[in-house]
Structure 1
Amino acid sequence: MSGTMSRRGLLAGGAAAGVAGALGGCAMGGGDDGGSATAETSARNPLGVKADAPLEVVIFNGGFGEEYAKAHEAMYKQRYPDAPIKHSATQQISQTLQPRFVNGDPPDVVNNSGGNQIDFNGLVSQGALADLGDLLEAPSLDDPAKKVKDTLRPGIVELGSYDGKFLSLNYAYSAYAIWQSDKLFEARGWEYPKTWDQMIALCRTIKAAGIAPWTYTGVHARYMSWPILSAAAKMGGVDVLKAIDNLEPNAWKHDAVKAAADAYSQLAIDGFLQAGAEGMDHIQAQTEWCNGKAAFISCGSWLENEQKKVTPPGFRMSAHPTPRLTSADKLPFEAFRGTGSEPFVVPAKAKNQRGGLEYLRVMLSKKGAADFTGKVSSLTVVTGSNDGIALGPGLTSVTKMIDTAGPANTFNWLYNSFYRKLERELVNAACADLFAKRITAAEWVGRCQQAADSIAKDSSIKKYKRA
C-alpha cells in the first residue's frame, strides 16, 4: 500500500495507546443531536436532514486514498444541492480531530482509521459518538421496502456495536485467508490442503522443491494469530471466540486454542518458514511471496490491491480458508473469518448529525458501494454491491469463498476492536516470539491469557460484553 501508513494502521501500537491515555483525562462531550440541524421526515428524507445544512467530512488518507469519498460527497450533493460540503483528508486523525472532540466542535462524519485513529474505547466511554441506530432502520436508497440493516453482510452490526448501540460503521469488508499463487500450484501439481495433516505433508513437498512453504509478516506477527484463532473457532465453535472477546478466565487456554497454536508452531519448528521473515514488515513479506520465494502467506482480502504494483503477470493469487485441525471440527473447512474495517463515525456533537447519517446511507447504496470497489479494489459491507464489477483474481476468489461459506459459516472475533492494545501490542509480541521459536505453543497460550487478564483487571479500561 502506498505511503508510510496502511489503512489497517500496522504501525499503530504506541500512538493508539497514547491517545487512549489522553482521552481518559479529558471530557469528550457526549450528548444527542438536540443542537444539530434537523428537518421534518418524509419518504424521501426519512432521517430528517436539513437540506441546506453544511456537511463536514474528514477522511483517513491511507491506502484507499480520498477520491472514493469525493464521489460519495457528490452523491450527497445531488440529493441536497443547497448543502455546502467541506472535505478534508489526513493521516493524523487523532492529532487533527481530538482537540475538536474535546472542544465540542467535531466534523459531521469521521473516517476514524489508521495508526493514528482516536481510540474507540475512549470515544465510547466518553459518549462522544452518535448512535447510528436510525441509519439501520432507515430505508435503503436502492429499495425503500428494505431497511439499511438488511443490506449489510453478516456480523457488521455486531462489530460496530458497543453496549447495545451501533456506533461505528465499518465500511470495507475483509475476508481473512491463507493465500497462494494458482500459477505456481498448477505448474507444480499442488492442491490447497483442507486438513492440517495435508498442510504439513504439502509443506514437506514444497520445501523439498527449494521454496519456503510459508512466509509471514514478522514485524506484525499478529497476522499469524488470525489463522490460529480461525482454526480454533473451527475446532471448538464460535463460543471459543466469544469467551476471548469477553475476557473470560482461561479463554485463551481452551483446548481448541491450544491445538491450533501447537499446529501453527510446527511451521517454525519444522523449518517451514522463510528465512529472515522474522524481521520483515507486511510489504516486504508480501513482496517475497509475490516473487515466488514462499508458497503461503496469511493476510486479508486487501492483499491484491496492496501488492498490485509488484505482482507478476499471471500470478493469479487466490484466497483459501484455514485447514481443519480434526475431522471432528464443529465448523466445516469452508468456514472463514469475515469482518468489516475502515470505521466511519458520526460524532454526538456534530452540527449536522442527521446529514452525517444520511451520508452513511449514501455510502451504503449499491451505487456508492460499487464506486468504492471500482476505485480501490476492495469489497464493501453492502451485500451484492460487487455484482457486475470486473474483479481481479484475488478478489474473485474471495467472493467465491464468501458465497461458498454463506452467513452460517462466517465468523469473527471482537477482542481486537474492544481492546486494541491486546492484539496490536500484547498478542503481536507473543506471536513474534512463537514464530521465532523463543517460546513454545503452551507458553504462547499462557502469554495471551496473561495479557487478556491484565486488560480485564485494569479498571481504567471500559469493558464490553459480546452476546
Structure 2
Amino acid sequence: MKKTLWSAVILVLFASMVLAACSKKANNTEPTPSASSSAPASSAPPSASASSDKPQFENTTLNVAAFDGGFGTVYWEEVVKKFETDYPGVKVNLETKKGDIFRDYVKTQFLSGNAPDFIATPFVETYAKDGQLLELNDVFDKEALGKTGPLKDLILDGFLDANMPLGDGKIYYAPTGFNVQGIWYNKTLFDGNGWTKPKTWDEFFAFAENAISANAALYTYQGAYPSYNEMVLWPMIASHAGPEALKKIFNYEEGAWSDPKVKEVLGIFYQIAQKGYLMKGTIALNHTQSQTEFLNGKALFIPNGTWFENEMKDVIPKEGFTFGFMAPPVFQGDQPYAVASNGYYLIPKNGKNPELAKEFLRYQFKDDNILLNVQKTGELAAVKGVVEMAKPYVSPAIYEALSVFDQGVKPVMTAWKATPPLSVNVSEAIFNPLNSVMNKKMTVDEWSASIEKSMATVRKEIAATESK
C-alpha cells in the first residue's frame, strides 16, 4: 500500500472529478507460477491493426511484472495475448506474484539492474524519488489508441495530478483500476431483518444488539494486515478532523496525530475493543481467513475494496448472502467520505524496452481492453464514463460501491509526501499498534504517541537527506 503540498489540492479536485464523472453515469500470500504467452518471437515489425500511428520497435520482447492481488491474473494473461496478436512479432513475458513476494521481487529486480520493462503494482516505494522511473507525460500527450485526441483527456480528472509524486508536473505513475474502499455487510441479512445500514457511529454501535440476534460480532478486519483499516480511518479523519488534518498526516507534520479530533477518530477503534465488539480471533487471521468468517456470518461489518467479491468468489455462500457496501459512518453532522484509489503502472528507467513498454501502457486504455478487464475481474480503469460502461458486467454490489459518490459521499485519496528510503515503515507504524488496541493493551493516547514518535523519525530522516 497503498507527495507534497499539492496533495490537498488534488483531494479537492478529485472530489469534484468523481462527482462529475459519476453524475454522468460513471498489503500477501504465496507466489503463483509465472504466466506467459507462447506466441513466437520474431523481428517482424508490428502491424497497423491496432493503431494507425503504431510505432515500430527494434526490440520486440517485453517483460511485464503484474501484481496478483484481489483481481487475480486473468486479465493480464488475456491482454498480453491480445497485444501479441495486435503487434505481430512482439513476445511478452509475463511474471505474476502475490503480496509482499511480488513487492520484494520487483525491489530485487531494480537493485540488480534487471527491472522489468513494465510493472503493474500497488507498491511504488521510492522509485520516483530515486530517479528509477521514466516520466510518462509523453504517453498521455500522445493520441489515445482507437480515438482522436490525447490519452490524457480520457483519464478521470485529477488522477494524473495525483500520480505526480514529486510535485513537479511530471507523471511517473500511471493510474490503473479505479476502486472504492469502505465497509461491507450482508445485504440479504439486512433486508431480511429490515435493518438499515448505519450512517453515524452512534447508529453503528447500536447495531451491537442486531449482531447479538444474528449470533455474530459487530466488526472484524484482516487481523494480520491491520492496515486494511485505513479504509475506515482516512475517511473518518477527513470527515471529523477535516481534509487539512489529513494533509498534515500525509506530510508527516509534527502533532498531526495529537490533534484532538484525530484522537476522537482513533477512539472509535478503542470503543470497538473495549465493548467487545470485535470478532474473537480476528487478530490471528489473515485477510482471506477473516473475510471467509465474515462471509459465513461471524461478523456484521468488515473493511475492504471493490475487489472483495472477485477475490472471494470461490467461498461466497450459495444462499443467504449478498454483498452490500457503505461508506464509513460519521460523527453526527459530519460529511461522509470514502477512499477512492488506483494502482500504478510503472516503466523503469533501466528497462530493456522502454518504447514498447510505453506502447503497452497506451494499449491498456483502449476501450476493448478496459471492457476486457471489467468482464474478467470487475476492475474499472480510471477513465471517464467507466462506471456506466461497467454496469452490465459488474454485480449490483460493485455498482452500488462505485456509485457511492452520487449519494453525497466525497472521495478521499492517500497522497503521501515522497520520501527517501526510510528506516520506518509508515503503514506499519500507524496500523500495527491497532492490534494492541484491540487486545486492550494500548490506549488511544499511547497509540497516538507511538505514531508521533515514528513520524518524528521520518521527519529527521527526510531532513538529513535534504541537507546533503
TM-score by shorter chain over 0.5: yes
Q: Give the Cα separation in 1 of the matches to 2:68 and 2:185.
A: 26
Closer, same or farther in 2 for the Cα pair 1:98/1:450, shift >3 Å?
closer
Note if 1:320 corresponds to 2:326: yes
Deviates more, 1:344-353 or 1:315-324: 344-353
The corresponding residue for 1:185 is: 190
| Structure 1 residues 112 and 232, CA gap change in structure 2 (3 angstroms) | closer
**Which structure 2 residues correspond to residues 37-186 of structure 1 after superposition, within 5 A?**
49-51=55-57, 53-60=59-66, 62-63=68-69, 64-91=71-98, 92-93=101-102, 98=107, 101-102=110-111, 104-112=113-121, 120-121=125-126, 123-145=127-149, 147-153=150-156, 155-163=158-166, 164=168, 165-186=170-191
Deviation string, structure 1 residues 402-436 (Cα, Å, up to 9, x no partner):
44358xx2111233986895444212211111222
Range with bigger deviation, 74-83 or 224-233: 74-83
* Cα deviation code 1:225-250 (max 9, x no counterpart): 43122111012332222111111111
Find the residue that maps to 2:184 and give its secondary structure: strand
- The yes-or-no answer on 1:264 pairing with 2:275 is no
Question: In structure 2, the residue corresponding to 1:415 is in which secondary structure?
Answer: coil
Deviations 1:301-352 (Å, cap 9, x if unpaired)? 111111111111241111110111131x2xx33x3110012x2211112333
Give the alignment's TM-score, normalised by structure 1: 0.79
Q: Distance in 2 between matches of 1:311 and 1:426?
A: 33
Percent of matched pairs sharing the same residue: 23
TM-aligned CA distance change 1:181 to 1:96, over 3 Å? closer
In the alignment, which residue of structure 2 is the partner of 1:26?
A: none
CA contact (8 A) 2:64 2:92 kept: no
Partner Cα distance (1:425, 1:403) in 2: 33
Please tell me whether the aligned partners of residues 180 and 341 of structure 2 are also in contact (alpha carbons under 8 angstroms): yes
The answer to whether the Cα contact below 8 Å between 1:52 and 1:84 also exists between their aligned partners in 2 is no
Partner of 1:4: none
SS at match of 1:60: strand
Give the distance between the partners of 1:317 and 1:246, measured in 2 at CA.
35
Aligned to 1:25: none
Q: Is contact 2:178–2:381 with CA below 8 Å preserved after alignment?
A: yes
In structure 2, the residue matched to 1:394 is 397
Residue 53 to residue 400, structure 1, CA distance change in 2 (3 Å): same
SS at 1:59 equivalent:
strand
Q: Is this contact kept in 2: 1:373–1:379, CA < 8 A? A: yes
Q: Partner of 2:456: helix, strand, or coil? A: helix
Does the C-alpha gap of structure 1 residues 102 and 258 become closer, same or farther in structure 2, counting only changes over 3 Å? closer
Work out the number of aligned pairs and report it. 415
Residue number in structure 1 paired with 2:372: 371
Contact kept in structure 1, 2:66 and 2:76, CA below 8 Å = no
Change (3 A) 1:44 1:365: closer
Closer, same or farther: CA 295–462 of 1 in aligned 2, 3 Å: farther
Distance in 1 between residues matched to 2:235 and 2:97, nearest whole Å? 34
Deviation at 1:383, TM superposition (A): 3.2
TM-score (norm 2): 0.79
Structure 2: stretches of 5+ with no match in the other structure: 3-26, 31-44
Worse overlay, 194-203 or 76-85: 76-85
| Per-residue deviation, 1:155 | 4.6
Q: Tell me if the contact between 2:61 and 2:91 (Cα under 8 Å) persists in the aligned partners.
A: yes
- RMSD over aligned CA atoms reads 3.1
